[in-house]
Structures are given as C-alpha cells and as structure tokens.
Amino acid sequence: MKIVFRWFGSDDRITLDQIKQIPGIYGVVSAIYDVPVGEVWPFDKIKRLKKQIENSGLKFEVVESVNVHEDIKLGLPSRDRYIQNYKTTIENLSKIGIKVVCYNFMPVFDWTRTDLNFKLEDGSNVLFYDDDKIKNLDPARLVEEMEKHSGGFSLPGWEPYRLKDLKKLFDLYKDMTEERLFKNLKYFLEQIIPTCEKCDVNMAIHPDDPPWSVFGLPRIVKNYDDLKRITDAVKSKYNGITLCTGSLGTNPKNDLVRMIKDFKERIHFVHARNVKILSEKKFHETAHLSSSGSIDLFKIMKSLHEINFDGYIRPDHGRMIWNETGRPGYGLYDRALGIAYINGLNEAIEKGCDTN
Ligand code: DNO
C-alpha cells in the first residue's frame, strides 16, 4: 500500500519538504482550492500543482476532494452541466496521472463536529462531536462557532461558498429523502463512471461523517448496507470507496473488517483515523494508537494485508500536540506519528509476526 499525506497546497503551513521527511511516505493528497465548486479544474493549474509536488520528490496520484455541486445532490435540472464539468475535470486529472478521486455526497455540510479544540488529559486538542448539542443548535450557529475556533484556517468541507446561503440550501433540501438522494447519486455515478473507465481514474466515495443524519439532512453513506447499495448501483471497480475508519467507526455497529473483506476490490483509499466513543453519538478523536480509542487499527491493517490492498492510505486527523497551531485535525506532528505507527504495524504484519 502507498502511504500518503494530505497537503492543502501552497497556503498550507506544513511544507512539502517536511512531509518528505516522514519515513515511508509515498506522496501527497491535494486539490485545487481556488476553482469554484462545479467548475472545471483547468489542466494548467493541475499540471503546475503536480510539478510543485514532484519537485519535492513526492508523488501526486490522489485528489481529495473534487467536491460535488449541490445541484447534483439535489437533482436539479442544472446538474447536467455540472456533471459534464466533473467529467472534464476527471479527464484533466487523468492526463497528469491521478489514479483516485475522493469525494462525498453529504448534503450541505461535509464532516461535522461540535468542538474543534477539545482538550484531552494529555494536554493535546482534538475534534469532538456531541449529538445532543447538535440537536439544539441552529446550523448557522454551528458555522459561526466553527469559524471562530478554526484558528483562521479554512476548514476542508466548510468552505465559505457552502455557507453563504445556508437558509436557502436548507429550504431546497426540505423534502429530500434518503431515497431521492440515493437516486441522485446513482444518476451522477451512471454519468461519470464511463469517463472514469476510459481515463483509468477510480472514484472513492467518502462515508458520511458522522455516519448518521445531522440537522435532519438525509445521509446515505453510513453503513454496510449503504456501501453495498452504492457499489451495486454501478457495477464497475471504478465506482469505489474511501474506507474512513474514523467516520464509519463512530457507530460501533459498523464492522470495518467485514467491510474490508466484502468490498475489497472497491476500496481505493483508506483514511486511518481513531476515535473514542464516549456514548451513543458522542465521541472525540484520538491518537492513532489502537489503545487510545475505540478503533482497532491493528485489525484494520491486518485485514488490508489479507486483501492485498495496494491502494493509498493516509493518516487522518489525530491530536494537535507539542504546541503546534494549525488547521484543526490536520497538524503535522500527530499525523506523522500516525504514519510511524502504520509503518510499524505494516512491518510486523509483513514479516509474519504472530498476528493473532
Ligand atoms: C475531513 C475529511 C473530509 C473529506 C471529504 C471527502 O477531514 O475527511 O473533508 O475530505 O469528505 O470528500
């Protein structure tokens, strides 16, 4: 498997040279951040980004994310234009050697948390989620809170464009059901997968984070059955999954090992993240170490070896430690420690230590 690290482009405080020094690193996962959602990512921009990354000795084969325009999720007539643009972006990405595109199909918001700087006993800060708090919160208030506590960084998935017409967006989703949202996803996949096949670019849908409805909005990538329905909707290996352990894993009913076994040829990208479940729908994120949280990373890695996973894996989130300041969930130090841990697990598994 290839170990990659998320990098937010030239504005990222973490540099490519720093990333390059992480043992076992293969490449970075990045995106074009200044093209409005729904528009085509111009070839020149993508090429420049690739060159910049490769000049640092790193590979650029995974994009996270090409965001899906809300009109596609809503199934509005204007979706066809945005789908056409999406296809052109895939074609442009394929020309510079992109192999995987990570995306999500969550209405309005991407990942949701109620606290971006929750202090753990060890003095580090992590992301925290409490559904009880969400239940009584106006979404606009949450957005304000996130902006206030994000340390001035734009948060992936909380880009300002999504949030300016929040009320209007919520109105548009008023009658949206899971069934209709799924139909819209299917329509999207039916249109783009032939392009992916032609271009040899794997799509990898990211699970809903957290994997349940938030603010009453429908969610359709929450569990085994959802993944089954999605992978069956268009039967091509290019219609794949991002296995995000910390998203799916916040619901203890989700059996990640079973998912790895059953969806093996559809898993193109893994987000290794650990979370500690405190009670139902209440959790915080942790260091990657299995004993720090509720996810058994050893089991995950072992299962990935069993299916001969040769896709991409990246550490995800983790704590903000050693006085680092940065984009919540995306510090350098704890993600680098996460990679060191993944390397350790990999070596032990590969060298055939007793893995039972
Ligand atoms: C959060 C990330 C998500 C992810 C998207 C993929 O930290 O895991 O924002 O990138 O959902 O489209």
What mean pLDDT comes out for the span 90-96? Answer: 98
What is the set of active-site residues? Answer: 206, 244, 271, 316-317, 330
Question: What's the 59 CA to ligand 1 centre distance in angstroms?
Answer: 20
Domain ranges for the chain? 2-350
Q: Which H or E element spans position 30?
A: strand 27-30
User: What is the SS3 assignment for 72?
Assistant: helix
Question: What's the 315 CA to ligand 1 centre distance in angstroms?
Answer: 12
Instruction: Specify the residue with its C-alpha closest to ligand 1, atom 6.
Output: 103
Give the CATH superfamily of 2-350. Divalent-metal-dependent TIM barrel enzymes (3.20.20.150)
Q: Directed axis angle between helix 178-199 and helix 79-95, to 10°?
A: 30
User: Which residue among 111, 241, 268, 330 is best mutated to probe the pocket of ligand 1, counting the most ligand atoms within 8 A of its Cβ?
Assistant: 111
Q: Are 57 and 35 in contact (CB under 8 A)?
A: no
What mean pLDDT comes out for the span 344-348? Answer: 97
CB burial of 99-117 (b: ≥16 within 10 Å; e: otherwise) equals bbbbbbbbbbbbbbbbbbe
Q: Does the pLDDT of residue 160 top 80, yes or no?
A: no
User: Which residue among 33, 126, 209, 285 is best mutated to probe the pocket of ligand 1, counting the most ligand atoms within 8 A of its Cβ?
Assistant: 209
Instruction: Specify the residue with its C-alpha closest to ligand 1, atom 1.
Output: 111
- What is the predicted pLDDT for the residue at 242? 98
- What is the predicted pLDDT for the residue at 354? 57
Q: Around 218, how many Cα atoms within 13 Å sit in the side-chain half-sphere?
A: 19
Q: Which residue has the tokens 């209709």?
A: 180
Query: If pLDDT is split at 50, 70 and 90, which confidence band does 152 have?
Result: confident
> Token pair of 296, please?
């058994």
User: What is the SS3 assignment for 255?
Assistant: coil
List, as one string, the DSSP characters of 50-81. Answer: HHHHHHTT-EEEEEE--PPPHHHHHT-TTHHH
Residue 214: C-alpha distances to residues 82, 117, 129, 159 (Å): 26, 20, 11, 18
Q: What is the pLDDT of residues 218-257, one digit of tens each?
A: 999 999 999 999 999 999 999 999 999 999 999 999 999 9
Query: If pLDDT is split at 50, 70 and 90, which confidence band does 165 have?
Result: confident
Q: Does the pLDDT of residue 123 top 80, yes or no?
A: yes
What mean pLDDT comes out for the span 17-26? Answer: 98
Q: How far apart are CA 107 and CA 214, in angstroms?
A: 10
Please give the share of the chain, as a percent, with pLDDT higher than 70.
99
Q: How far apart are CA 204 and CA 63, in angstroms?
A: 10
- What is the predicted pLDDT for the residue at 353? 67
Q: What is the pLDDT of residues 124-138, one digit of tens each?
A: 999 999 999 998 888
- What is the predicted pLDDT for the residue at 148? 85
- What is the predicted pLDDT for the residue at 356? 54
Question: What's the 158 CA to ligand 1 centre distance in angstroms?
Answer: 10
What mean pLDDT comes out for the span 170-189? Answer: 96
- What is the predicted pLDDT for the residue at 179? 98
Q: How far apart are CA 222 and CA 213, in angstroms?
A: 9
- What is the predicted pLDDT for the residue at 315? 98
Question: What's the 247 CA to ligand 1 centre distance in angstroms?
Answer: 10
Q: What is the pLDDT of residues 282-337, one digit of tens each?
A: 999 999 999 999 999 999 999 999 999 999 999 999 999 999 999 999 999 999 99
- Locate the ligand 1 atom nearest the alpha carbon of residue 329 and give its number: 7
Q: What are phi and psi of 231, to 5 degrees?
A: -70, -30
Residue 261: C-alpha distances to residues 158, 220, 251 (Å): 32, 21, 18
Q: Where does ligand 1 bind, in terms of residues with CB under 6 Å?
A: 64-65, 102-104, 110-111, 156-157, 206, 271, 329
- What is the predicted pLDDT for the residue at 144? 84
Question: What's the 109 CA to ligand 1 centre distance in angstroms?
Answer: 10
User: Which residue among 73, 101, 105, 110 is best mutated to probe the pocket of ligand 1, counting the most ligand atoms within 8 A of its Cβ?
Assistant: 110
